[in-house]
Amino acid sequence: MPRHASVMTALFALPPALLFGADALAQESALSASPPLAPFTATYSAYYQGKNAGDAKLQVTPLADADGGAQWTLDLDIHGHIGFLNMLAINVDQSTTFAERNGRFVPLAQSTTRRAFWSDKKMQGAYDWNAMRASWDGDLKFKKERKGDDNVPLQPGDLSALLLDLSVIRDAAPGKQLNYRVVDYGKARQYAFSVSAQTEIVAVNDLSYDALRVARSNGGKNEMIFWIASGVPTPVRILQRKDGEDFVDLHLVDYTSPR
């Protein structure tokens, strides 16, 4: 992985040349080209309220081809190394099985296991695109906490929460506005993101990246920010903030990819 990534991978009225200028257009061209999805494994340092408290692994793995196109799994495992992280249930294993159809990521199944000091909680979800409904089962207390429904109508283009990562990587371009509908844990939510007009230098561990900042614009006090660098198949940093304070912050340590 390079020590300085050159240029990664949720403003309309004027021509792009008038909005951003020629340099930004060249930047957009480099960042907006979406290569085919490929498997990768990325490891992250996990910070909780500014303190290094664990690690995370994000992995895309291909499955055998099936009717309707190739299928994949996207897995995120976050594990705490210190006691208070375990007590606060920041030990989470999430997985989404999805298909890639006509340039879209289509969720098929979802599972979450949240491990805490006193108990484990598990949930499973299924996306039935024939019936256009998503359903969940599993730990009833977990479902009660989420205050969602067992059965939610689907709309074309709906994502699982994990698929936001791949979608932002695919769609981010300078100055672009991104909009997604996420159906997860019995609820449907709208996610809007604003992409920075220019890249910025982001220091992550011992590396520096020239990255686009992709910030959620409709989350209120719950902020979500991705930093996307050209040639890197996963965000170099993922930050969640609550009430103006850093909550969970993932910093890319390393990644492996055939590309």
| 88 Ramachandran zone, left/alpha/beta (phi>0; psi -120 to 50) | alpha
Residue matched to tokens 């020239």 = 210
Tell me the longest C-alpha to C-alpha distance in the chain: 58
C-alpha 57/C-alpha 77 separation (Å) is: 5
Which one-letter amino acid corresponds to residue 221? Answer: K
Return the DSSP state at 161: S
Overall domain count for the chain: 1
Domain that holds residue 205: 4-256
Q: What global pTM score does this model have? A: 0.78
Render each residue's pLDDT in the chain as its tens digit; 259 residues: 333 332 222 222 223 322 333 343 344 444 445 567 899 999 999 888 878 888 999 999 998 665 555 899 999 998 887 554 444 546 788 999 999 888 889 999 999 887 766 667 888 999 999 999 999 888 745 444 455 557 899 999 999 999 999 999 999 999 999 999 999 888 899 999 999 999 999 988 888 999 999 999 998 888 999 999 998 999 999 999 988 888 889 999 999 987 5
